[in-house]
Chains A and B, each alone.
Chain A
Amino acid sequence: MLIAKNLSKSFKEVNALNNISLAVQEGELYGLLGPNGAGKTTTISILSSLLKPDSGEILYQGKSLYQNLTKSKKMIGVVPQEIALYEDLTALENLKFWGTLYGIKGKELQSKTEELLDFLGLSDRKNHKIKTYSGGMKRRINIAAALLHDPKIVFMDEPTVGIDPQSRNLIFEVIQELHSRGLTMIYTTHYMEEAERLCDRIGIIDEGKIIAEGSLEELKKSSKINEEIHVRFTNVQKTDLSNINNHFNGQLLIHENQMVLSTSLANTDLPILIQMCTKANLHLENLQVKSLSLESIFLELTGKSLRD
């Protein structure tokens, strides 16, 4: 669907993008994860034709973005980070305005706006001015404005910034529904939970470079960090643990009545560990599996936190 090759962009002395390449398949939800200032918005701005790259190539369905810019723009939908709507107009007026810019008219425009407002659960508020909407409702209309012209690919630039958890969940549901309908999306965020929950593949971006890319499982596999199984017992001091220690060959750390197993195969090792503990007459008090998170992968790759 989208292939971007060797994109670079500088603003005066600031190197915003440094030779970025990415490919997004049709129907895929691709996440671009990185801290503030990593280059996510610049990447989206370039891919959506808002900015021209200093170098590199962008292909949509095999054709250059700039070969027929007007046609390319009609394939693209953008949900900007800001609430890019006219506060003094109603939701319906806003949607009709943005739809008209894409050449949608008359009954088609009317049915399209009604359909989207219904899909987003805002039909009953369609004639209210945007300034009377809550943050979450504004975000939903912000998404709707990018969908009116049935784009082939939608860029979502941190669409959940500044809203409450309930509204965020509503937006996740909207995105998941769009994904299930086969819409291709690129989603930028600095929240790892969002990327983990929503995205098929994730590109980790930092200082204008994509430093890792793949599905969550692929990223976990490629990481040198292990998941951890924390177990607490009531009687560990009185038991011989040599069998268990030997089996896990140095991966096990025992301290007083606690043991921590560091493993890259938590799903496989967990039942074995429980079975061995039972055989050794250990009474489990508490068990916790600490999965490998994107946060820790990001920390491993960049040496800094996502929220730095």
Chain B
Amino acid sequence: MFTIAFKGIRQYFKDRTAVLLSLLLPIVLITLFALMYGGIGKKEKSHPISLLFTDQDNTELSKEVFNTLNDKDGMQLFPKSYEEASDLIKKGKNTAVLVLYKGFQDSVEAGNKAPMELFYDEAKEIEMGLLQQALWSNLFGITMKKGIKGKVNTWIKEKNPDLADAELLDIQAQVEEQFTDFDNSDDSKELEEKSNLPMTAIVSEEKNGNLGLVQAIAGTAIMMLLFSVSGSGASLLKEKEDGTFRRLLVSPISPSSILYGKMLSTLFMAVLQLTVMFLYSWLALGLDIFINLPALLLMILSAAIACTSFGIFMATICKSRKQVESLSTLIILVISALGGSMMPLVFMPEIMHKLAVVSVNYWAIEGFFDVFWRQLPLSEIYPKMLVLLGIGIVLTSISVISFKRNLLKLV
């Protein structure tokens, strides 16, 4: 029994790649999911929520609102014009903008409804939840206090029109002191209603389609494509195992042509796969793929190029099909989790957003979000296409070098 067990252990350790993968895969996945669910880095200071701020009132009170919110630990404000802010939200770079309209201070001091509004991206549900909490506890503290003060002052002035300024200031100071610990009186309820913050989605499901659908299609399509292309890439190693590779090498074509030919066929399959997926999404799931057809087609091509180069890269750095299959599975799972194929990035901690940029999935999903969710023009989407093409060029270049270097081994 022990002899058999010992032989099994020896065989296991003989295959170093298998040992490495069997130990590395769980470690990588555990770390990744711990990061995704926020299990790591909890002791670190939490990342402040960023909020764009448009001050159209430009008064003492509007500045006080800015400073008060900005001084809070959990929040960081960036002053922007409404147009700039709206553009940034549409592009997915920011979550929301708080707009204080002209007359903000006057209305608050008169005890009227504060003219302000929060514009946001409905896709960023988690961040919006946190933002609303922070705004309620801070913004309304300022506006409601001012509102009550204003209401009391107005009442005093109305009742005592002959009151001297010095006496009025003294009463105001006393009122302010009284309202330091604001409680839930009937007046406060009325003021709370008046201080209510209207919220308008700049990017929303109503205007921009089904967010979940876009996420599901883009995320799944890219992950499945990566699995497909790694299989196609592995066919290069099958050619080696079957002997057809030797026959190709003695024919009057250059070794590079073999690699480029393989890439081209894989690219064709990748484009076909993505096209079929989007056509199915249109026919069966109701995704409006004609919303920006040129952008969609270019995104499909860019994503297909990046994914194809990944498949070929895996085939040229691995020694056998078995190695390609195990290593590809590991890498695809990792980059899919990182890039938001498995779970939308908005649900993940900030650190994951930073790590996501190394993933093909991230750029492809963001590109498809630009097309379907943010509905940006081609001129705004092309940087993501360039990143995908850049990934394709880099991986292809490494593949060509690696292929030429390993040609003898392939023979």
Which A residues lie at the B interface, using CB under 8 A?
A: 45, 48-51, 69-70, 73-74, 76, 78, 80-87, 98, 101-103, 145
Q: A50-B250, A74-B252 are in contact. Are A45 and B244 (CB under 8 A)?
A: no
Chain A residues positioned under 8 Å from B250 (CB to CB): 48-50, 73, 76, 78
B residues 233-270 touching A (CB-CB < 8 Å): 242-244, 246-253
Asked if A102 and B252 make an inter-chain contact with CB atoms under 8 angstroms apart, the answer reads yes
Asked if B244 and A101 make an inter-chain contact with CB atoms under 8 angstroms apart, the answer reads no
Partner of B243, one of A69, A73, A83: A83
- Closest A-B pairs by Cβ, 7 of them: A82-B243, A84-B243, A84-B247, A73-B252, A101-B251, A70-B252, A84-B244
Partner of B411, one of A50, A69, A73, A74: A50
Q: What's the minimum C-beta distance from A21 to chain B, rounded to whole angstroms?
A: 22
B residues 74-103 touching A (CB-CB < 8 Å): none
Q: What's the minimum C-beta distance from A256 to chain B, rounded to whole angstroms?
A: 55
Asked if B251 and A73 make an inter-chain contact with CB atoms under 8 angstroms apart, the answer reads yes
Chain A residues positioned under 8 Å from B253 (CB to CB): 101
- The docked-state distance in angstroms from the alpha carbon of A49 to that of B247 is 11
- The docked-state distance in angstroms from the alpha carbon of A78 to that of B243 is 12
Q: A45-B411, A50-B411, A51-B411 are in contact. Are A85 and B244 (CB under 8 A)?
A: yes
- The docked-state distance in angstroms from the alpha carbon of A84 to that of B246 is 8
- The docked-state distance in angstroms from the alpha carbon of A203 to that of B280 is 64
Chain B residues positioned under 8 Å from A85 (CB to CB): 244
B residues 374-411 touching A (CB-CB < 8 Å): 408, 411
**CB-defined A-B contacts under 8 Å, sample of 9:** A73-B252, A80-B247, A82-B242, A84-B244, A84-B246, A85-B244, A86-B244, A101-B251, A101-B253
Q: Mark B299-318, 1 if CB is under 8 A from A, else 0.
A: 00000000000000000000
- The docked-state distance in angstroms from the alpha carbon of A83 to that of B242 is 7
- The docked-state distance in angstroms from the alpha carbon of A69 to that of B251 is 10
Q: How many residues of B contact A (CB 8 A)?
A: 13
Chain A residues positioned under 8 Å from B411 (CB to CB): 45, 50-51
Chain B residues positioned under 8 Å from A145 (CB to CB): 247
Partner of B246, one of A69, A80, A87: A80
Total CB contacts across the A-B interface at under 8 A: 47
Return the chain A residue nearest B411 by Cβ.
A50
Chain A residues positioned under 8 Å from B251 (CB to CB): 73, 98, 101-102
- The docked-state distance in angstroms from the alpha carbon of A59 to that of B251 is 18
- The docked-state distance in angstroms from the alpha carbon of A103 to that of B252 is 9
- The docked-state distance in angstroms from the alpha carbon of A92 to that of B248 is 17
- The docked-state distance in angstroms from the alpha carbon of A86 to that of B253 is 18
- The docked-state distance in angstroms from the alpha carbon of A264 to that of B243 is 45
Chain A residues positioned under 8 Å from B246 (CB to CB): 45, 50, 78, 80, 82, 84
Apart from A78-B250, A83-B243, A84-B247, 14 more pairs, CB < 8 Å: A51-B408, A70-B252, A73-B252, A78-B247, A80-B247, A82-B246, A84-B243, A84-B246, A87-B242, A101-B251, A101-B252, A101-B253, A103-B252, A145-B247
Q: A50-B411, A51-B411 are in contact. Are A101 and B243 (CB under 8 A)?
A: no
Chain B residues positioned under 8 Å from A98 (CB to CB): 247, 251
- The docked-state distance in angstroms from the alpha carbon of A86 to that of B242 is 8
Chain A residues positioned under 8 Å from B252 (CB to CB): 69-70, 73-74, 101-103
- The docked-state distance in angstroms from the alpha carbon of A82 to that of B247 is 10
Return the chain B residue nearest A87 by Cβ.
B242
- The docked-state distance in angstroms from the alpha carbon of A151 to that of B147 is 97
Chain B residues positioned under 8 Å from A74 (CB to CB): 252
Return the chain A residue nearest B253 by Cβ.
A101
- The docked-state distance in angstroms from the alpha carbon of A84 to that of B411 is 13
Q: What's the minimum C-beta distance from B261 to chain A, rounded to whole angstroms?
A: 10
- The docked-state distance in angstroms from the alpha carbon of A49 to that of B254 is 12
- The docked-state distance in angstroms from the alpha carbon of A103 to that of B253 is 10
Asked if B244 and A81 make an inter-chain contact with CB atoms under 8 angstroms apart, the answer reads no
- The docked-state distance in angstroms from the alpha carbon of A86 to that of B247 is 11
Chain B residues positioned under 8 Å from A48 (CB to CB): 250
- The docked-state distance in angstroms from the alpha carbon of A86 to that of B248 is 12
Chain B residues positioned under 8 Å from A101 (CB to CB): 248, 251-253
- The docked-state distance in angstroms from the alpha carbon of A145 to that of B244 is 11
Chain B residues positioned under 8 Å from A84 (CB to CB): 242-244, 246-247
- The docked-state distance in angstroms from the alpha carbon of A51 to that of B246 is 10
Q: What's the minimum C-beta distance from B180 to chain A, rounded to whole angstroms?
A: 82
- The docked-state distance in angstroms from the alpha carbon of A73 to that of B253 is 9
Return the chain B residue nearest A86 by Cβ.
B244
- The docked-state distance in angstroms from the alpha carbon of A83 to that of B243 is 7
- The docked-state distance in angstroms from the alpha carbon of A76 to that of B252 is 10
- The docked-state distance in angstroms from the alpha carbon of A145 to that of B248 is 11
Q: What's the minimum C-beta distance from B209 to chain A, rounded to whole angstroms?
A: 41
- The docked-state distance in angstroms from the alpha carbon of A51 to that of B408 is 8
Return the chain B residue nearest A94 by Cβ.
B244
Chain A residues positioned under 8 Å from B408 (CB to CB): 51
Q: What's the minimum C-beta distance from B256 to chain A, rounded to whole angstroms?
A: 14
- The docked-state distance in angstroms from the alpha carbon of A102 to that of B363 is 41
Chain A residues positioned under 8 Å from B247 (CB to CB): 78, 80, 84, 98, 145
- The docked-state distance in angstroms from the alpha carbon of A71 to that of B163 is 111
Return the chain A residue nearest B408 by Cβ.
A51
- The docked-state distance in angstroms from the alpha carbon of A76 to that of B249 is 12
- The docked-state distance in angstroms from the alpha carbon of A49 to that of B411 is 11
Return the chain A residue nearest B246 by Cβ.
A80
Asked if A81 and B248 make an inter-chain contact with CB atoms under 8 angstroms apart, the answer reads no
Return the chain A residue nearest B247 by Cβ.
A84
- The docked-state distance in angstroms from the alpha carbon of A87 to that of B244 is 11
Return the chain B residue nearest A41 by Cβ.
B246
Chain B residues positioned under 8 Å from A83 (CB to CB): 242-243
Q: What's the minimum C-beta distance from A68 to chain B, rounded to whole angstroms?
A: 10
